[in-house]
Structure 1
Amino acid sequence: MRAAVYYGKNKLEIEDVPEPTPGEGQVKIKVSRNGICGTDLHEYYDGPIFIPPTDPHPLTGQCMPLTLGHEFSGVVTEIGPNVTDIREGDRVTIEPIYRCGECRPCRTGHYNLCNVIGFHGLMADGGMAEYTVVPSNQVHKLPDNVSLEMGALVEPMSVAYHAATLGEVNDQSRALIYGAGPIGIGLWFALRGMGLTEIDVVEPSETRRRSIEALGARTLDPTKQDVTALIADRTNGNGVDAAFDAAGVAPAVQSALECLGERRPLISVAIYEKPLPTPLINLVLRERRIQGTICYTAADYSAVIDLMAKGHYNTTGWVEDVPLSGVVEKGFEQLRAGQKMKLLVDPTT
């Protein structure tokens, strides 16, 4: 079978590799689509970062080289021993977290914070391939009315949904999102799914503003509008109930904190490439806080899949397919250049 095998910085090869066979507690998946994540771009252009270069990961036993891909869906084609709740032919999406089950986060249900966490496609051969093998506890079945293409978006949409829950909002809340990339779009969908109607998305890129506006979002251009003053005016000086940073730049963090109401959170969903100044004065004087977020749990997956089954998510204008054979030239390079929004790798092409 063909797979996108990572050998290190700027080294990703489309190769013929042996098809995997499921072991005990595992299932084999024929991959339908695999989304390209910002983490994949970081690994390709700047890595290895999370991918173990030489020492095998303690939960997977793998290290570089390995097949990329952690945002994927497909069809179960083979069942390993002692798998009882999954059948061949099931249409599924994958929650790619490896967890130890023994550390305190795992024991308290927060396995997304596992002390030795691993990810399929980063610490084990992933979904940028025709087939892959996963533990059965990573498998989520898709309803009949959720397409496999949509199923490949469950992982990034669950990242956004988990972050949205940490905002402690309800249908009467007002929220502010910084960044209209895939996670920003996912945040908008998640908050809308929670009943919020007063949501502003701050995005300097005209292309990205148009993409999310086409979905029904209300946007602000920080290069032409004083976001802090505008939000103060709209909220009678009270500020928003939650802000979400999916931009990952210092001006977004500063603006978000200035727009927050008292004792309200800024949820940081971004990966920051450069150290940020810590604006403690904005935290101290109004008892605001910055809340980190990472990944998701099965509850977030279930919530996203349920919303997808209700037709809540719309991929028009921001999601496209790319062939496995062109994953670097037509995928990584175009995403890095800002020419595309979200790309799903089709391993059959």
Structure 2
Amino acid sequence: MRAAVYYGPNKVEIADVPEPQVGPGQVKVKVGFNGICGTDLHEYYAGPIFIPTEPHALTGQQMPLVLGHEFSGTVTEVGKGVTGTSVGDRVAIEPIYRCGHCAPCVAGNYNICQQIGFHGLMSDGGMAEYTVVPADMVHQLPDNVSLELGALVEPMSVAYHAATLGDVRPGDTAMVFGAGPIGIGLWFALRGKGLDDVLVVEPSPTRRAAVEALGAKTLDPTVVDVPEYVRDATDGRGADAVYDAAGVQPSVETALACVGARKPMVSVAIYEKPLETPLLNLVMNESRIQGSLCYTSADCEAVIALMAEGKYDPTGWVSAIALDSVVEDGFEALHAGTKMKVLVDPSQ
């Protein structure tokens, strides 16, 4: 079968590799669509970062390996002992490997497992015609949720998990900094939780236009004094939760200047450079920074339920490409900012 194989920085090749065989407790999936993640971009241009150069503790795999951890598809085979999943099921994949015995796992927080691994980063993944996953990674897709939307379940679950950690409720004011895929996912998640007042802060005209077309209200921080705007709009209270999906110093500083007293800034970004955190703002406001990593099964199921209700719209910010053009039309286009979210279709 054909697959996108990672050999190191700036070296992803479409190669013929053996079709994976299903084992006990596993499910074989014909991949429908696989999203290219920001993590994939980091690996392509600056890796290996998360991709192991020695056998991973949970998967036993190392580079070179097949990329792809954001994907959906159709079950073609189930291994011995698998129940609840059948051939022909349309599924989204929750790609986390966890040890099951470290303190976070025992507490139910396997998204921060001390040995965490990801299908498609620490094992051969979904940027291929077929892949095999443990049965506990499978989530059924309702009939009215397309495979294209199914491939967005993973990144949208990242955003939904972060939205939940902000402890918001209908009537609150929330702010999202950054209108990339995770920022857009935060807007969808917060709206899905019943919030009407969600502001998206984004300096890029292209990204602002994309999220505005979905119905979002945006602020351009290059022309608007964002903290002053929020103080006026909330009668001085500030936002009930702010979410940093941009990962740069200016967004963090502005977010912390907007958050209300004893309220959180939820950080769901990857920070490439060290940040200077204005701790005085936190102290004087008794506000806090809350980290957010990945998701759990409950987040994935919540996103799928909202998708079934029509709460997620890929129009204008998601595009599909063939596997053969994954470098030029995928990695390079995303890196250049000419595309926002790319799904790879292995059948093309």
How would you bin the TM-score normalised by the shorter chain? over 0.9
Instruction: Give how far 1:176 is off.
Output: 0.6
Query: Runs of 4+ in structure 1 displaced over 3 angstroms?
Result: none
Deviations 1:210-258 (A, max 9, x none): 0000000000000011001111111111100000000110010000001
1:119 matched to which residue of 2? 118
For 2:198, give the aligned amino acid. Answer: I
Please list, as runs of the form range in 1=range in 2, the aligned pairs for 1:6-45 lying within 5 A after superposition: 6-45=6-45
Q: TM-score, normalised by structure 2?
A: 0.99
In the superposition, the TM-score normalised over structure 1's length comes to: 0.99
What are the residue-to-residue correspondences of 1:285-324 with 2, within 5 Å? Answer: 285-324=284-323
Q: Is 1:284 aligned with 2:283? A: yes
- For residues 191-340 of structure 1, the aligned pairs below 5 Å read 191-340=190-339
SS at match of 1:20: coil
CA distance in 2, matches of 1:84, 1:227: 52
1:117, 1:44 → 2: CA distance? Answer: 21
Letter in 2 for 1:293: S
Distance 1:81 1:56 in 2: 26
Contact residue 253 and residue 277 of structure 2 kept, 8 A? no
Identity of aligned residues (%): 69
The number of residue pairs the alignment matches comes to: 348
Give 1:91's aligned residue: 90
- Aligned residue runs from structure 1 range 78-227, under 5 A: 78-227=77-226
User: CA shift at 1:84, angstroms?
Assistant: 1.5
Letter in 2 for 1:276: L
Amino acid at match of 2:89: D
The amino acid that maps onto 1:23 is G
- For structure 1, the 5+ residue unaligned runs are none
Give the partner amino acid of 1:78: E
**Which amino acid counterpart does residue 194 of structure 1 have in structure 2?**
K
Displacement of 1:85 in angstroms is 1.4
* Cα offsets for 1:70-129 (capped at 9, x unmatched): 000000001111112111000000000000111111111100010100000000000000
Rounded Cα–Cα distance in structure 2 between residues aligned with 1:115 and 1:208: 35
> Deviations for 1:116-157, whole angstroms, at most 9, x for unmatched residues?
000000000000000000000000010011111110000000
Q: SS where residue 305 of structure 1 aligns?
A: helix
| Residue pair 2:268, 2:292 contacting (<8 A) in 1 also | yes
Gaps of 5+ in 2: none
Deviation string for 1:306-326 (max 9, x for gaps)?
000011111110010011100
SS in 1 for 2:285: coil
